[in-house]
Structure 1
Amino acid sequence: MAQIVNNKKIVLKDYVKGFPKESDMILKTSDTIELKIPEGSNGVLVKNLYLSCDPYMRGRMTKTQGSYVDSFTPGSPINGYGVAKVLDSGHSNLKKGDLVWGGVGWEEYSIVTAPETLIKIEHTDVPLSYYTGILGMPGMTAYVGFYEICAPKKGEYVYISAASGAVGQLVGQFAKLSGCYVVGSAGTKEKVDLLKNKFGFDDAFNYKEEQDLVAALKRYFPEGIDIYFENVGGKMLEAVLLNMRLKGRISVCGMISQYNLEQEEGVRNLLSVITKRLTMKGFIVSDHYHLYPKYMEMVIPLIKEGTIRYIEDVAEGLENAPAALVGLFSGKNVGKQVVAVARE
């Protein structure tokens, strides 16, 4: 008879308006799970090791239609990207003991009914938690948004907002490897220091200390900006548009300043898109996962050589996952926010 164990879960209480709170999520401790896949199923039973906290998850906490990803269901576990170990499998490509990353529930154990969405981890000589970040969805986001959409050239001027986060810290380092001049913005002195001293940005500034973002960007980019990696939106985007160079490119990854507003802000200065012949393109990383092997071929050697540096902010224990997720929206995290559920 298969073992039956307790399965702690983080459940969404109800749909959220405004800024999410820890109390919008509940730690449920009473559920149990059988550690076996039903006969004939092609599902996969996994033990979750690390969970990823990502800004896009805020949109899933609201009832929306027509989005690229479904809303969470109140009363059910939150789900997102994670790293897990296979305990039982009905899928031919995955076996017991395999390590995987992909979509899992915010719980100790998950049954994944679409195992083709899981990616088997081949490189285990790097930290497993990296597969929530640099070797997972955020890493691919940085790669696609910078290389595929912005097509950087040596000597170009690159600006990154929310630059110390999971994606921004990588974009800045990719830009330096491409021979670009790179400036990033962040919300604390600690993060600004990290950008300059740890990640090798040419310069960085605290946007909260700037009264006039247009003037600030003019100060850091007197010649203008060739590439803007957009993570913030709102007033930041307005200021960037006035500072872009002719035929500049804007890769629209996210707009975290808008996620908790009931009514999104309008953006001025869009005439610059015409007068400066700008290319501004949004993207969803899941459309580009066919490039994952190509990305891994590039990034694994850079990690092992120490050429690329990566910082994580790890919250220990499933019970601390709600605070970790909510903290993203007030900038509490330094680097990639990860929740360690269990360690391999």
Structure 2
Amino acid sequence: MTTAVSTQIQLASRPSGWPTAENFRTVQVTYGDLAPGEVRVATEFMSVDPYMRGRMNDVKSYTPPFALDETMTGGAIGRVVESNVDEVPVGALVQHQLGWRDIVQADAAQFRVVPEIPGVSTSVYLGMLGMTGLTAYVGLTAIAQMREGDTVFISGAAGAVGTAAGQIARLLGAKRVIGSAGSAEKVALLTERYGYDVAFNYKDGDIRGQLAAATPEGIDVYFDNVGGEHLEAAIGALNHGGRVAVCGAISAYNATEPVPGPRNMGNIITRSLTLKGFTLGGYLHLAGEFQQHMTEWFGAGKIAHDETVVEGIDHAVDAFLGLLRGENVGKMVVKI
């Protein structure tokens, strides 16, 4: 057995508004010999995700906030380099939630061995074959109860969940899939690569008008990653009996004042709409069902999968801040 020095990122102070590099610090942590039942893992990729911004606030939520002066956590995939556990041997590829560090040492129960996929980067387990893809699947099926023939609108469509949701909606039989994104380049990708029928750039303004022009027949399902003006526009476009899966509200994550709600909430009553928020923790029982579908789609070449890869643990904060600014296409990961 040997010791190991791990580079880790901690939350040094809580941001007010947009986070900056000064809210984080890099530390070195030395691990001693493995204790019984422990393994040591060299992380290959770690995930940065919008929900992490909420965990930087000391407020009550569905998951505890990041503690100050402690290493942050998040999804990661890595390789076992030392082990005291036969079921998690050296060389095994493992998924875990102890990101924001290049080496991690912990009880083997915190790691899940996953199979190698020939010719595919291991980072796929952080995106399309991981929590990102599962989030899209759960939102469309269990929350919005999407049906074949539905017209589906997805905001934040060029992000990790959005690119997954658009493709899954198409594969589940949506009649029409509409997306919004924040640049002309991303809008083009949505229709040319991710199977969207039409997309628009929300930065051009008049989101409600652009959505109405894109889908004059209205929408049946809205997958909400953004909130704010997008949610108001969707409530205005939803047909009778329309459903909304409220997954995120990235437009408000860095707000310093309360964000006004939609001004057309009366439509919820008059059109018999359903709005339901969700977090993935309550729907992990659907992981097997999702894996069956996604493995089949992925193997048949029906899924386009893109990543924005930032190199090095020292640039993990840069990757996270870039994610909040919308600099990613598809999943944002850090290659360690």
- Could you tell me the percent identity over the aligned residues? 38
> Which whole-Å CA distance do the structure 1 matches of 2:165 and 2:109 have between them?
28
| Aligned residues between the structures | 333
What amino acid is aligned across from residue 31 of structure 2 in structure 1? I
User: Hey, what does 1:20 align to over in structure 2?
Assistant: 19
1:314 deviates by: 0.3
User: Hey, what does 1:37 align to over in structure 2?
Assistant: 34
User: Hey, what does 1:330 align to over in structure 2?
Assistant: 325
User: Hey, what does 2:264 align to over in structure 1?
Assistant: 269
What amino acid is aligned across from residue 256 of structure 2 in structure 1? E
**Could you tell me whether the CA contact under 8 Å between 2:76 and 2:126 is conserved in 1?**
yes
Note the alpha carbon deviations across 1:218-270, whole angstroms, 9 max, x for none: 11111111000000011111111111100001001100011111233121211
**Could you tell me whether the CA contact under 8 Å between 1:52 and 1:82 is conserved in 2?**
yes
Classify the secondary structure of the residue corresponding to 1:281. Answer: strand
Q: CA RMSD in A?
A: 1.6
> Which whole-Å CA distance do the structure 2 matches of 1:90 and 1:156 have between them?
51
**Could you tell me whether the CA contact under 8 Å between 2:40 and 2:83 is conserved in 1?**
yes
**Could you tell me whether the CA contact under 8 Å between 2:42 and 2:103 is conserved in 1?**
yes
**Could you tell me whether the CA contact under 8 Å between 2:179 and 2:198 is conserved in 1?**
yes
Decide whether aligned partners of structure 1 residues 46 and 265 sit closer, same or farther in structure 2, where only a CA change above 3 A counts.
Answer: same
> Which whole-Å CA distance do the structure 2 matches of 1:156 and 1:264 have between them?
33
> Which whole-Å CA distance do the structure 2 matches of 1:193 and 1:217 have between them?
16
User: Hey, what does 2:100 align to over in structure 1?
Assistant: 106
Q: 1:118 and 2:111 equivalent? A: yes
Classify the secondary structure of the residue corresponding to 2:98. Answer: strand
1:13 deviates by: 1.2
Q: 1:91-240, aligned counterparts within 5 Å?
A: 93-113=87-107, 115-125=108-118, 126-180=120-174, 181-210=176-205, 212-240=206-234
Calculate the TM-score normalised by the size of structure 1.
0.92
Structure 1: where are the runs of 5+ without partners? Answer: none
> Which whole-Å CA distance do the structure 2 matches of 1:118 and 1:5 have between them?
19
Classify the secondary structure of the residue corresponding to 2:40. Answer: strand
**Could you tell me whether the CA contact under 8 Å between 1:228 and 1:251 is conserved in 2?**
yes
1:118 deviates by: 3.3
What amino acid is aligned across from residue 125 of structure 2 in structure 1? Y
Decide whether aligned partners of structure 1 residues 97 and 207 sit closer, same or farther in structure 2, where only a CA change above 3 A counts.
Answer: same
User: Hey, what does 1:294 align to over in structure 2?
Assistant: 289
Mean alpha-carbon deviation: is it higher for 90-99 or for 218-227? 90-99
User: Hey, what does 2:279 align to over in structure 1?
Assistant: 284
2:235 paired residue among 224, 241, 265: 241
Classify the secondary structure of the residue corresponding to 2:132. Answer: helix
Mean alpha-carbon deviation: is it higher for 240-249 or for 258-267? 258-267
Calculate the TM-score normalised by the size of structure 2.
0.94
Mean alpha-carbon deviation: is it higher for 161-170 or for 77-86? 77-86
1:301 deviates by: 2.3
> Which whole-Å CA distance do the structure 2 matches of 1:229 and 1:47 have between them?
36
> Which whole-Å CA distance do the structure 2 matches of 1:91 and 1:294 have between them?
29
Note the alpha carbon deviations across 1:79-125, whole angstroms, 9 max, x for none: 10110222344556433322111201311111234x44533212432
Structure 2: where are the runs of 5+ without partners? Answer: none
> Which whole-Å CA distance do the structure 2 matches of 1:148 and 1:137 have between them?
15
Classify the secondary structure of the residue corresponding to 2:160. Answer: coil
> Which whole-Å CA distance do the structure 2 matches of 1:31 and 1:166 have between them?
31
Classify the secondary structure of the residue corresponding to 1:131. Answer: helix
